[in-house]
Amino acid sequence: MVRIKAEPTSNNASETLLFVYGTLRRGFSNHEVYLADAFLVGKAVTAEKYALFVDDFPYLTRIPKVSRIVGELYRIDGPTLELIDCLEGHPDDYRREQIWVVANLGRHYWAWAYFYPEARGRLLTSGRYDSDDTA
């Protein structure tokens, strides 16, 4: 396994990186409400393999390890993270955890992502959630 050095996310300690793979991405229902003013770092993919399921919403799980998950990486502030925690029901429903994601021509970033504790719905083997994937 290749070791990757963590890089500071910004000069502002109150900012953090968030990887989104579902309804928080551009063009989906929650983006305008929660991330419209956030800085888009770029399109991103998880460094490791996870499983992406969909039912009424997309659900990211750590197992089974199926594919790298496609999404977007945002730089957000603390209040925005708190709002998204409420949306995702962290820590009771989804759980926010840090993972490595790859964006911007192969650069690795340490970012938050929301995981669901169990497999639920239909598995998306492509690792990509699209608007026609809702059940």
Query: Which amino acid, residue 66?
Result: V
Please indicate, yes or no, if residue 113 is contained in any of the structural domains. Answer: yes
Please indicate, yes or no, if residue 38 is contained in any of the structural domains. Answer: yes
Please indicate, yes or no, if residue 84 is contained in any of the structural domains. Answer: yes
Q: What pLDDT score does 12 carry?
A: 54
Please indicate, yes or no, if residue 57 is contained in any of the structural domains. Answer: yes
Placement of tokens 């995981």 in the chain: 115
Please indicate, yes or no, if residue 87 is contained in any of the structural domains. Answer: yes
Domain total in the chain: 1
Please, what's the b/e burial string for 68-79 (b: 16 or more CB within 10 A of its CB; e: otherwise)?
A: bbbbbbbbbeee
Paired tokens of 56: 């009424």
Task: Give me the average pLDDT of each 10-residue run along the chain (135 residues).
Answer: 38 79 97 97 98 95 97 97 98 98 95 96 96 65
88 is catalytic: yes
Residue 88 lies in domain:
15-120
Please indicate, yes or no, if residue 9 is contained in any of the structural domains. Answer: no
Please indicate, yes or no, if residue 7 is contained in any of the structural domains. Answer: no
Between CA 110 and CA 85 the distance in angstroms is 18
Q: What pLDDT score does 14 carry?
A: 67
Q: What pLDDT score does 125 carry?
A: 97
Q: What pLDDT score does 4 carry?
A: 35
Which of the following is catalytic: 32, 48, 88, 118?
A: 88
CATH number at residue 42: 3.10.490.10
Please indicate, yes or no, if residue 133 is contained in any of the structural domains. Answer: no
